[in-house]
Amino acid sequence: MSALRDTAFAKLNLALHVRGRRADGRHQLETLFAFCEGGDELSVELDDLLSCDVSRGDGVEVISGDNLVLRAAYALRAASGTTAGARIQLTKRLPIASGVGGGSADAAAALRLLVELWGIDPAFAGEVAPRLGADVPACLISRTCRGTGVGDELVIVDIPGLSGTNVLLVNPRVPLGTAEVFERWDGIDRGPLADWRMGRNDLEPAAKSLAPQISLILSWLDAQPGASFVRMSGSGATCFALFDDEAARDSAASAVPREWWHLATRLR
């Protein structure tokens, strides 16, 4: 069988409301996930062993350590009972620890690919995903959805006109640890999520305290001609702007300061 390929689609939180801290220490969330057409790239092919080779895309740092893709592969193999192996190739194009679900999206893409490669029931991927991280279930489906609980209780939503929207992602190349940002959340419940455009990202003040560059990026994006909606994604530090016009998005992308990472893409 030739290699199978998939994209680990970048995740955006169009709104992220933190409603409280649960007894288990995790946080109760209401969020609207959307996914970009661009992201990391994965390929898989059958092999006797399980392995994952990681390469670096343009301007993206790769840090060695815990590999969530391999964890996903081993968990899926154990859950399904298969004895097959795979060689996984991951090309990183998204910054690490950046609020766009890079590791979670990689794990989810690996699950999708391995289900097909090994010919197993996709239900096993759904069983494994929540154990790998709160964002992995959403990344597994990679469709616009509302998330509650810790972000893993999902309802797919259809927002007319959202798919195909032009979007520009910008990151200051400053990694932010999700746990550290949540620890700095002020603990105030500012209310439920209704209209995502009128919503907010409750982690933004905490993220700004750790990475002041976020304020600069948000202001820069908001000043770009044609930017219709600007917000920080997840726990940061990636921010994004939606554009009604592709030319306006591309003009903004060409003006992004060289020291910042950026991705010009569309919503799925």
Q: Which residues are catalytic?
A: 11, 135
Q: With contact defined as beta carbons under 8 Å apart, do 6 and 113 qualify?
A: yes
* CA nearest neighbour of 234 among 203, 196, 266, 200: 203
Q: With contact defined as beta carbons under 8 Å apart, do 150 and 69 qualify?
A: no
DSSP state of 223: T
Q: What is the DSSP string of 113-164?
A: HHHHHHT--THHHHHHHHHH-TTHHHHHH-S-EEEETTTTEEEE---TTTTT
Which residues are paired to 52 by β-bridges?
A: 88
**Cis ω before 237 (30° cut-off from 0):** yes
